[in-house]
Amino acid sequence: MNTHYYLGWFTDFFPERLSQMLRDDITERKSLVMISSNPLDARVDGAIERSWLHHADILFDDYYLIDYCVQKDAAQTLIQNASVIFLLGGDTLKQNEFLMAYGLSECIRKSNAIVIGASAGAINMAANWLCSKNFGYPVEENIIYDGIGLDDFSVLSHFDLENNMALILNDLSSLSEEMKIYASNKDCALRIKEGKIDILGSVYVISRSEIQKLEETC
């Protein structure tokens, strides 16, 4: 089973404990392949996410960014050969559309790489996610989207949980009857490794319309 990191957004850099976990897990550092969250915008270049890794002293021989400037076949080959795949934060909907248009979800599921997602990227890594105007999406009705499906749960990442508990429970109640939803704010991380879940920061689980704060494990 591959290792997956579901990240929120970090105010500065990774805390040292998370940095150490990543250094221990990322033993092969030939190539980092980043997947844009807005593949038509050249300004989305992964500079912030790369800076987190660099500050943690995690460097790669080669760095690649996949957006619409990269041909579909070339994008799939980059993913197949990646040491680490990083789904960038930003626009969840545009990234989801890009993943589907380029057939990248299946490539990522088949990859042996460590997969990391920040904010929008973390949301798209999961099985399903709720697109709601209450979460900032430009929609009138709630829509359930398919994610990559690396793990059998949903994610709500980089959201002001403490001030919106009632709203979150109301919107996510139906989906929480089908699967667990892990919700986190900034400076948080969820690691799935060998079937074990590690928690860093303030992370909540929503299941069967009830929400519970999880204890940190690292």
Question: How do the domains of the chain map onto residue ranges?
Answer: 4-213
Q: Which residues pair with 32 in a beta bridge?
A: 63, 84
Containing H/E element for 174?
helix 165-176
Domain 4-213 has CATH 3.40.50.880: yes
What CA–CA distance (Å, rounded) separates 215 from 45? 34
Predicted confidence at residue 114, as pLDDT, reads: 98
Using only C-alpha atoms, the chain has a radius of gyration, in whole angstroms, of 16
Predicted confidence at residue 158, as pLDDT, reads: 74
Long-range contacts, 9-13 (Cβ 8 Å, 24+): 9/89, 9/118, 9/119, 9/157, 9/158, 9/186, 9/187, 10/52, 10/118, 10/186, 10/187, 11/186, 11/187, 13/51, 13/52, 13/55, 13/56
* pLDDT higher than 90, residue 169: no
What CA–CA distance (Å, rounded) separates 52 from 62? 16
Beta strand 196-200 with 181-184 is unpaired
Beta strand 196-200 with 189-193 is antiparallel
Predicted confidence at residue 164, as pLDDT, reads: 76
**Which structure tokens are listed for 3?**
């290792």
Q: Residue 8, exposed/middle/buried by CB under 10 A (0-12, 13-18, 19+)?
A: buried
pLDDT tens across 65-88, in order?
Answer: 999 999 999 999 999 999 999 999
Classified as helix, coil or strand, 213 is strand
**CB of 135 within 8 A of CB of 93?**
no
Predicted confidence at residue 32, as pLDDT, reads: 98
pLDDT tens across 149-163, in order?
Answer: 999 999 998 777 777
**CB of 114 within 8 A of CB of 1?**
no
Classified as helix, coil or strand, 151 is coil
